[in-house]
């Protein structure tokens, strides 16, 4: 819909952050890269049969669909790509418009853009597990209060029981996958990390810039494992990450939001770099912890996150929420 001299609010539906593990191509997958030649295009969804819409958001222009693909459970994520400023001239020249309403100075049209300017970013998770289906399903959320003892007696045992693979993380660190996307690579085993675009960002404009720094140390699951001994690592990620983004995207540190999630979507320490002003999934105060605050807290108290009471949201069907209820903590 194209509207002249008028703008209408669209109601939003809350979306959880996409699991990066779920969106990863296999290490030997060479197809599906953005900007590929026409010969590389294929319809991998030709056998997909939709059974239900797990969740959607009119505001975010995204939909999560559950169904079957070649007898396997699958989840397909459909997301409209943003309008790019550098394509506006071509959009205005090459589009067709049909008038729907005119009233005084206000006109509303249905606009059909050229196909290459009207793409839908599509993520396919196949085979999808029950955990994937539950993750994308719209559900009520609850705020959990977790003490240091709660983490050791409830959360940590639950994490250790989970079976989601981190192989896709190790593939990135070992350059077996996505090596061409790496923005910065520090190979130091103690303070090193790999910085690369998150798959939620199509890299066509910096307004929704989103990169992930994955640390090389493999024994740090989350914020809870951090102590003052990790300060050199965190400071290196913070400083070198900002420098790399300035060099590659000409975006200064004053326009970046740099933070960690708790709970994270996967248990290998990683840091989020997003453009300030972009309402990235999971950037709210109940889940995001600014890296600058994390560093300062550890400088003040070396064991800050091992004893600190932390709050975070959990969805109604989350197994961890059930553990907290069984322990009488909710």
270 is catalytic: yes
Tokens of 325: 């209820």
Instruction: Compute the CA torsion angle 262, 263, 269, 273 (nearest 10 deg).
Output: -50
Q: Are 134 and 301 in contact (CB under 8 A)?
A: no
Tokens of 238: 């913070």
Nearest C-alpha neighbor of 162 from the set 258, 61, 315, 268 = 268
**Which member of 270, 272, 289, 311 is catalytic?**
270
Q: Can you list the alpha helix ranges (DSSP code H) found in 95-144?
A: 130-136
Q: Which residue matches tokens 């993520």?
A: 123
Q: Are 242 and 258 in contact (CB under 8 A)?
A: yes
Q: Are 322 and 330 in contact (CB under 8 A)?
A: no
Please state, in angstroms and as integers, the Cα–Cα distance from residue 199 to each residue in 101, 233, 236, 296, following that order.
Answer: 38, 24, 23, 30
Tokens of 114: 């050229």
Alpha carbon 277 to its chain's center = 16
Q: Are 141 and 313 in contact (CB under 8 A)?
A: yes
Backbone torsions φ then ψ of 56, nearest 5 degrees: -155, 165
Instruction: Say whether 286 sits in a helix, a strand or coil.
Output: coil
The residues annotated with a catalytic role in the active site are: 270
């Amino acid at each position: 819909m194209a509207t002249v001299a008028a703008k209408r609010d669209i109601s939003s539906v809350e979306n959880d952050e996409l699991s990066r593990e779920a969106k990863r191509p296999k290490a030997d997958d060479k197809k599906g890269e953005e900007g590929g030649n026409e010969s590389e295009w294929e319809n991998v969804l030709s056998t997909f049969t939709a059974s239900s819409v797990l969740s959607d958001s009119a505001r975010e222009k995204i939909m999560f669909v559950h169904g079957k693909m070649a007898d396997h459970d699958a989840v397909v994520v459909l997301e409209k790509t943003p309008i790019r400023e550098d394509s506006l001239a071509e959009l205005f020249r090459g589009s067709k418009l049909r008038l729907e309403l005119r009233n005084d100075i206000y006109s509303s049209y249905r606009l059909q853009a050229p196909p290459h300017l009207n793409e839908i970013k599509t993520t396919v998770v196949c085979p999808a597990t029950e955990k994937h289906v539950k993750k994308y399903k719209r559900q009520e959320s609850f705020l959990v209060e977790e003490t240091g003892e709660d983490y050791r007696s409830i959360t940590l045992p639950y994490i250790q029981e989970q079976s989601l693979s981190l192989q896709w993380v190790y593939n990135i660190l070992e350059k077996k996958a996505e090596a061409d996307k790496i923005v910065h690579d520090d190979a130091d085993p103690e303070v090193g990390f790999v910085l690369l675009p998150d798959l939620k960002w199509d890299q066509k404009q910096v307004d929704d810039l989103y990169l992930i720094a994955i640390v090389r140390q493999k024994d740090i699951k989350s914020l809870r494992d951090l102590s003052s001994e990790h300060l050199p690592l965190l400071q290196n990620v913070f400083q070198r990450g900002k420098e790399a983004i300035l060099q590659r995207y000409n975006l200064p540190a004053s326009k970046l939001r740099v933070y960690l999630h708790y709970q994270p979507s996967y248990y290998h320490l990683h840091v989020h770099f997003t453009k300030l002003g972009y309402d990235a999934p999971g950037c709210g105060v109940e889940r995001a912890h600014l890296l600058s605050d994390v560093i300062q807290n550890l400088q003040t108290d070396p064991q800050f996150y091992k004893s600190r009471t932390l709050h975070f949201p959990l969805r109604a069907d989350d197994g961890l929420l059930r553990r907290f209820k069984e322990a009488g903590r909710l």
